[in-house]
Structure 1
Amino acid sequence: MSTEQQATDWNAWSREAVEAMVAGNARWQSEFGLQGSPKYHWDLESATLTFEGTLGQVLATVCLVGTTSASEGSFVWSWANEAIPRQHGAALEVVHDFGRENQLALLTTPRIQGGRPEATECLCIAGRLQRAVGTFIDQQGDVTLYFTLLHLRMAPAQGEWLH
């Protein structure tokens, strides 16, 4: 273990990741007119999230970091979940590699006992390592999905030509 690794306060590093994602979320919601509760639709196959905002439709490229199940009381990383399209796990390799290099079990253990607090920490760490714009969380029945937003853009207006 290097001196740099020994000197890293991983709790503080993780808190900084959460703070950065909170600030990032406020920024993209304001910039794209998505405050409040805009309508949205995500598609795991295309790794996209579409919002209906006050300024128009906003398209996001996303990575599903993982899911929690209230009934199971655990968070499962997408790279460990065969039901999740493979591109999401591939987008998380930087997180998995970082966890292995720094011996951080939180980032290398496929299923983590806990719920939203543990999942949110994993989400924000993934966002920091992926240099994500922000995060998005959605609940579907018993399952909560945790996304990083890798890129955001306004959709072309209806009838607008693309050059």
Structure 2
Amino acid sequence: MSEANPIENTAPDWAAWSREAVQTMMARNAEWPGQFGLQASPAYRWDLDKAILVLEGALHKVVATVCLVGTSSDSEGSFLWSWANEAVPPQHGQALEVVHDFGRDNQLALLTTASIQGGRPEATECLCIAARLQRAMGTFIDKQGDVTLYFSILHMQLAPVEGALAN
């Protein structure tokens, strides 16, 4: 008589999977600033239409390709996925298709419901899940008044030096 494999026929522990996504992104966020020579809190600017984030280090700039995963509103107490926000350029929603598909395939309402009640903790969880599924390098969060924007960082590189002299 053989024992049944306890792993077979058990549903994934999505809460543990989600916690792991948050831990993974926290670890990656601790790494990339040092890898790109960005100390403390570098000056930055983002452009939603171009899907870029520019970070200014002491000696150089770093350009990141980003995806706006979603936004939260302090006054509304909710998180809105970018794929459900008509004000967000469509390329961000397209970059989130992997997340939306994963949510549908696994019946995860958190990933398929346009607006989720909650604040920064819930929004950060959604961000980290999205970043994990996108295989992102890390995440970036920016607050603009009542709205907080949650970005996944898909790619980073040093910006070309303007006016560099050729040898």
Q: TM-score, normalised by structure 2?
A: 0.92
Q: Which residue of 2 aligns with 1:50?
A: 54
Give the count of matched residue pairs. 160
2:160 to 152, 156, 162: 156
**Which one of 145, 148, 151 corresponds to residue 147 of structure 1?**
151
Aligned identity (percent) is 71
Give the match's secondary structure for 1:37.
coil
The 1:160/1:100 distance shift into structure 2, 3 A limit, reads same
Q: Does 1:37 align with 2:38?
A: no
Question: What SS does the aligned partner of 2:110 have?
Answer: helix
Counterpart residue number, 2:16: 12
Whichever of the two has the greater Rg, that structure is 2
Whole-angstrom CA distance in 1 between matches of 2:51 and 2:99: 18
How far is 1:160 from its partner?
A: 3.3
**Contact 1:5 1:102 (8 Å CA) reproduced:** no
Query: 1:7, CA displacement in angstroms?
Result: 3.0
Is this contact kept in 2: 1:77–1:110, CA < 8 A? yes
Superposed CA RMSD: 1.6
Report the equivalent of 2:131: 127
* Offset of residue 4 of structure 1: 6.8
Cα separation, 2, equivalents of 1:90 and 1:15: 25
The 3-state SS of whatever aligns with 2:136 is coil
How far apart, CA to CA, are the structure 1 residues paired with 2:97 and 2:9? 20
How far is the alpha carbon of 1:5 from its aligned partner?
A: 8.1
Q: Structure 2: which 5+ runs fail to align?
A: 1-6
- Select which of 27, 50, 64 maps to 2:68: 64
TM-score relative to the length of structure 1: 0.94
Alpha-carbon distance in 2 for matches of 1:156, 1:98: 36
Match for residue 84 of structure 2 among 69, 80, 85 = 80
Gap change, CA 1:4 and 1:136, over 3 Å in 2:
farther
- Distance in structure 2 (CA, Å) of the matches to 1:55 and 1:25: 20
Is 1:32–1:55's contact at 8 Å kept on the other side of the alignment?
no
Q: 1:25–1:4: structure 2 CA closer, same or farther, 3 Å change rule? A: farther
Runs of 4+ in structure 1 displaced over 4 angstroms? none
Query: How far does residue 156 in structure 1 lie from its aligned partner after superposition?
Result: 1.0
Q: What is the CA–CA distance in structure 2 between the aligned matches of 1:135 and 1:149, rounded to whole Å?
A: 5
